[in-house]
Amino acid sequence: MFHCNGWCFPWTISAIAGTHICLRVVRQKPIGDAIADHGVTHMCGAPIVMSIMLATAEADKRTLDHVVEFMTAAAPPPEKILAAMKDACFNVTHLYGLTEVYGPAVVNDWNDSWNSLGSSEQAALKARQGVRYLPLDGLSVRDPETMEEKPRDGETIGEVMMRGNVVMKGYLKNPSATREAFEGGWFHTGDLGVIHEDGYVQLKDRSKDIIISGGENISSIEVEDVLYKHSDVSAVAVVAMPDEKWGERPCAFVEANSGANVDEYALKLWCGERLAWFKLPARIVFEELPKTSTGKVQKFVLRERAKEIAKSE
């Protein structure tokens, strides 16, 4: 009920005379109990919140007799999580935006023609960020140097840019940062992505999260998605780890499902069958992911942790 989501969702529910159900902590059982006991119809949460919910112990799970509309943002949700949420009676809508553009500015507006597709294909489509909200005047994927728009082929990566009257005027008392952010007349989000033929944008990574290993760009999201597809993985975050030879290599931090019997070697084999060799995690560390009060993974903490691991080797 604060920051970007606080500007939108709570006000809307109040405007239609809805009831707010508030929780003090992001925990599996309280979430499941609140949904079942109060008949919750709509809720919001970062992708990690979905992972937390899906990892609920069998003894604590509640059966739902209705579909819950779930709005998610803050990070591209893994296809595996989206498919599992559908099976658990949640209809997920993917939103995307930044503080600088008044929170959610892009929505994955579902196309009815996609209903006939298989669950894995639907999950892949739901993972896209989507098209602009009506208040946002422009949404584009462009080359940040030349400002040329990237082709709508779903493959050519550029920087996601926006413009319109919901975009900020600038950073307070920081004219140089403002000039840089609005170079070429568009607000530069710092997010890298592609645009598909139908105009739907799909994020590939934050520019600061791209891992550059031996001159090759590695998307942390791509590596995370492969690890998420392993049945024993509950949550994962991938960051750059310093490497003397390659400059950087991926380091994966993993939370395993309760009772799972999986180790670093097994997950490296799993990745080796699904990723190019240079994208393979140099280390896979099993530990609880550091999160904010709303469940968002704190990657800056993990980057420092990866540096410590690199120094100890």
The arithmetic mean of pLDDT across residues 284-297, rounded, is 88
The arithmetic mean of pLDDT across residues 293-298, rounded, is 80
> How far apart are the C-alpha atoms of 73 and 250, rounded to whole Å?
24
pLDDT at 289: 94
pLDDT at 239: 95
pLDDT at 76: 73
Cβ within 8 Å of residue 292, ≥6 positions away = 298
Strands of the 201-206 sheet, one edge to the other = 138-142, 158-163, 187-195, 201-206
pLDDT at 143: 96
Mind listing the pLDDT tens digit for each residue in 167-203?
Answer: 999 999 999 999 999 999 999 999 999 999 999 999 9
Whole-prediction pTM value? 0.78
Mind listing the pLDDT tens digit for each residue in 36-80?
Answer: 999 999 998 888 889 889 988 889 999 899 999 999 887 777 888
Q: Does residue 103 carry a pLDDT above 90?
A: no
pLDDT at 74: 72
Dihedral sign from CA coordinates of 286, 28, 129, 100? negative
Q: How much of the chain is helix, strand and coil, in % rounded to 5?
A: 35, 25, 40
Mind listing the pLDDT tens digit for each residue in 253-277?
Answer: 999 988 888 999 999 999 999 999 9
pLDDT at 21: 94
The arithmetic mean of pLDDT across residues 275-283, rounded, is 95
Percent of the chain with pLDDT over 90: 69
Worst-scoring range by mean pLDDT, 144-158, 174-188, 210-224?
Answer: 210-224
Look-up: residue for tokens 């422009």?
Answer: 138
Give the closest residue to 165 by CA, choosing from 187, 188, 186, 135: 135
> How far apart are the C-alpha atoms of 173 and 170, rounded to whole Å?
9
Model confidence at 302, in pLDDT bands (50, 70, 90)? very high
Cβ within 8 Å of residue 150, ≥6 positions away = 141, 142, 143, 156, 157, 158, 194, 195
Name beta bridge partners: 159: 142, 192
Greater pLDDT, 186 or 98: 186
> How far apart are the C-alpha atoms of 107 and 105, rounded to whole Å?
7
Domains defined for the chain, CATH in brackets: 3-128 (3.40.50.980), 138-206 (2.30.38.10), 211-312 (3.30.300.30)
**Taking all residues of the chain, what is their mean pLDDT, rounded to a whole number?**
91
Task: Yes or no: say if 238 and 281 are a contact pair by the CB < 8 Å rule.
Answer: yes
